[in-house]
Chain A
Amino acid sequence: MRILKRGGMRKSDEHGQLLLVAGFAVGLGIVVLTIMLNNVIYASNIASESSIDTSRYDMANAIQMTSETYEDAYRYAMKDGSFNSTSFEQYLDSYAKLASKNYAISGLTFNFENNTLHEPYFSQNGLANGKDNWTIASNINTTDVFVLEIPDTSKLGNSSNSMTITITNSSGFLWSIELFSSSGSINVTVSDQSSEIGTYIASSQINITGNKIDFITTPSPSFQFSDHTAGSNYSINILNGSNAVGYCTFAGHMTSGEQFTFVRHWVGNPVITMHSSEMRIKRNLPITLPGRNT
């Protein structure tokens, strides 16, 4: 600067300021750009999309589909009046193939292992280890069919662990039937809330709504089922269900006017396995046949 002053070129020595200002501006620009770029890189690397998991819906879907297929297969196998196991197996095989193709599209393997049909217990899932005390249906207005059949009394509990079906409503107990094995026959005790209505001996079938034992009306059993349940909004409950093996049929109308049906002649227990790149689920699925949609 001193040299410039001495040479008398004072005018041009202030041009450096512009360069300095431009330099600062460029520096500031670089800093701002760096910070912005940094944020962009952080934001794009943050894990946000990995939490979408639909496997539970796939599983629920598979369960619903398999249960309905079993019921359909049973209906198909029964179309000639008696159970045709070949048709039943064929129906399920073709379902297994179609379902696994269908799931393969969405990246899932679906495997379904059909087991033999089991004899039905009166427990919730129909298997020997199922829940003992459960409710078949609630909010019932009328029951038109109520039939129990116990073909093998050796699998029926004795008087200390008898199987009982009770009818209850919001105010309490209305009617009950207790079944236990006694020297090769079925001992039937029917009661209402205060007293015993009657005791009967049956060999296999008890038709409560039809007032029949072993398909006949003699010696005229009177279960008084509709007398005790008429006009109430009741539930049908089973107690000690795993102490009896047999078939049951319930049908009637709900308080809402809809029909309800529960028929159990067999219990299917297939194993379903689903597998994707990040999960694997294996479970069994007890299915009551013919089920609730007959």
Chain B
Amino acid sequence: MKLRNLHPDENAVSISIGFILTFSITVLMLVTVLSSFYSLMDQAQQTVTRDEFEIHGTDITVRIATIDTIVGSATNSGSEIMEITYKLSLPGKIAGKPYSIEFDNNTKDIVFLSDERDETIVKVPYYTDNVAVLSTTLYSLKEEYVITYEPTTNTIQIF
């Protein structure tokens, strides 16, 4: 039997099976495309989260360094600081997730940790010469924080 004769013969072709095959292939393709999009988005969110953490971390270290400089120059010139207070506003959620900020006095790091995402830990180091930063952990949903210098203990408190 020649193959050419077989080709127009559609006796063994079922419309329903053809439909099922086409449909399942379409569904599979859609699922693949969607899930790849999802993972792409997830990666993009992590990148953005890390970027934002670094930006906010640097912002906080600038404030800490400012207080340190002001205290250092005042002490050198024989002045006394009675109060330094900075307001700090940070977003409650970054890329849709709340996060925590930990100030570690031993390693001198600000550790940003996003909720439910293990990959998005960002450590921003800070340095102080004249004052110490008290170790503490902040939770992002509060949004408004205060960085204050305590003259009696010569420490920076963040709450």
Contact = CB atoms under 8 A, between A and B. Distances in A.
18 contacts: A38-B44, A46-B48, A46-B52, A46-B55, A51-B62, A55-B86, A56-B70, A125-B77, A125-B79, A127-B78, A271-B82, A273-B83, A278-B86, A281-B83, A282-B81, A283-B74, A283-B83, A284-B80
Contact of A279 (B48, B52, B79, B84): B84
B8 to A, nearest CB: 9
Contact of B66 (A55, A131, A280): A55
Residue from the set A51, A124, A131 with the largest chain B CB neighbour count within 10 Å:
A51
Contacts of B48: 42, 46
A125 B78 contact: yes
Q: 7 smallest A-B Cβ distances: which pairs?
A: A125-B78, A282-B83, A278-B87, A282-B82, A280-B85, A51-B59, A283-B81
Contacts, number: 74
Contacts of B83: 273, 280-283
Interface residues of B, number: 29
Interface in B52-67: 52, 55-56, 58-59, 62-63, 66
Contacts of B74: 283
Given A47-B91, A279-B85, A283-B80, A53 B66 contact: yes
Interface in A253-294: 271, 273, 277-286
Contact of B10 (A2, A38, A125, A126): A2
Nearest to B45: A42
B42 interface: no
Interface in A44-68: 46-48, 50-51, 53, 55-56, 59-60
A51 B58 contact: yes
B51 interface: yes
Given A50-B59, A56-B66, A281 B84 contact: yes
Interface in B123-155: none
Contacts of A278: 86-88
Contacts of A56: 66, 69-70
Interface string B75-105: 0011111111111100100000000000000
